[in-house]
Amino acid sequence: MNKVLISVIGPTAIGKTRLAILLANHYKTEIISADSRQFFKEMSIGTAVPNPTELSSAVHHFIQHKSILEPYSVGDFERDALNMLKGIFQKNHVAIMVGGSGLYVDAVTKGLDSFPQVDSAIREKLNRELAEIGIESLQSRLKELDPDHYQKMDIQNPHRIIRALEICIGTGKPYSSFLNRPKDKRNFKVVSVGLMADRKVVYYRINERVDGMMQDGLLAEVKSLVAYSELNALQTVGYKELFEYLNGNWTLDFAVSEIKKNTRRFAKRQITWFKKTEDVLWLDFDNTADKMITKVDRKVKELQNE
């Protein structure tokens, strides 16, 4: 139990990649990405995949290792990441994980809740209802079947709503009744390191990043994926807005403004999620590298000596 996973968390555009590389080089170890959209090789610019210089600065895993045409669930990631960590820990006492996808981070650090299998026809029916009627009817049904979960979840996320509803309908029990049951304990300790900044700074950095993505060719990347626009992986900020432009529904300027707005909303949800994480070492995003490493190293040594 002297093995330690340093989990770097925080909102999008805050500088998580930079810190992860600093820590990987300091501990001479490897990085696991827990960004659920950086898994896909067809999505590069819009997911802010680390650039070639960053990727060559430390060994990264789970970056563009899957196609959008391959199903890849959070459960698949939990299994693969734990196997990868087993190998890293054979060579090093410390590993780094970085990403803003809270559910994927929790899958590795805490373990996933276990749900019974339900008839796949239920999900298909709910997806048809979403396409034909809209999200509001699904929201209403979830509020009726599981008001506790409805109050806590992102009700604007259709995939999460459908997942909760299929469990409610398929089991006859609330989705929330399957949450927070005892899980398998990890054979490593976790240091959660969160990057923070004033919200205005985060929003400014997001706007700058979106402008940079457009300059780097995001529109061309999205054009190349139009044929796959219905896939779950592409129901992602930065892609769905430009699909609206390419379909003639929005102007380009409006689509870009919507990307910025929706990314800011996403960052707000990330901050809310990560604030619920226990015992986080919060660092100012603009701290010097030495200062960050010193604080993290102190925390790592405390855990290893417990």
Q: How far is CA 301 from its chain centroid?
A: 28
Which run of H or E residues covers position 108? helix 102-109
Q: Max Cα separation, the chain?
A: 60
Rounded distance between C-alpha atoms, residue 169 and residue 165, angstroms: 6
- Residue 180 is predicted with a pLDDT of 75
Rounded distance between C-alpha atoms, residue 56 and residue 204, angstroms: 28
| 241 CB-near residues (< 8 Å, 6+ apart) | 250, 255, 256, 258, 259, 262
- Residue 44 is predicted with a pLDDT of 96
Tokens of 28: 């001479």
- For the chain, how far is it from start to end, CA to CA, in angstroms? 9
- Residue 28 is predicted with a pLDDT of 98
11 known ligand binder:
yes
Q: What is the DSSP letter of 174?
A: -
For the chain, give the percent of residues with pLDDT over 90: 84
13 known ligand binder:
yes
pLDDT digit string (tens) for 237-283?
Answer: 999 999 999 999 999 999 999 999 999 999 999 999 999 999 999 99
Cβ–Cβ under 8 Å, residues 52 and 223: no
Q: How far is CA 187 from its chain centroid?
A: 23
For the domain bounded by 120-178, which CATH number is listed?
1.10.20.140
Q: Give the Å distances, CA to CA, from 244 to 16, 134, 241, 250, 265.
A: 30, 17, 5, 6, 19
- Residue 188 is predicted with a pLDDT of 96
Q: Give the Å distances, CA to CA, from 58 to 68, 94, 241, 262, 289.
A: 25, 14, 33, 31, 16
Rounded distance between C-alpha atoms, residue 237 and residue 259, angstroms: 6
Rounded distance between C-alpha atoms, residue 46 and residue 230, angstroms: 17
185 known ligand binder:
no
238 known ligand binder:
no
Q: What is the mean pLDDT of residues 103-128?
A: 90
- Residue 156 is predicted with a pLDDT of 83
171 known ligand binder:
no
| 76 CB-near residues (< 8 Å, 6+ apart) | none
28 known ligand binder:
no
99 known ligand binder:
no
Please determine, for residue 1, whether its predicted confidence score (pLDDT) is greater than 80.
no
Per-domain boundaries in the chain: 4-112+183-304, 120-178
Rounded distance between C-alpha atoms, residue 52 and residue 297, angstroms: 27
Q: Give the Å distances, CA to CA, from 19 to 127, 134, 149, 179, 234.
A: 39, 41, 34, 32, 27
Rounded distance between C-alpha atoms, residue 209 and residue 190, angstroms: 30
116 known ligand binder:
no
| 57 CB-near residues (< 8 Å, 6+ apart) | 21, 24, 25
pLDDT digit string (tens) for 174-189?
Answer: 999 988 777 678 999 9
Of 122-131, 175-184, 198-207, minimum mean pLDDT range: 175-184
Domain 4-112+183-304 has CATH 3.40.50.970: no
Same fold, 4-112+183-304 and 120-178: no
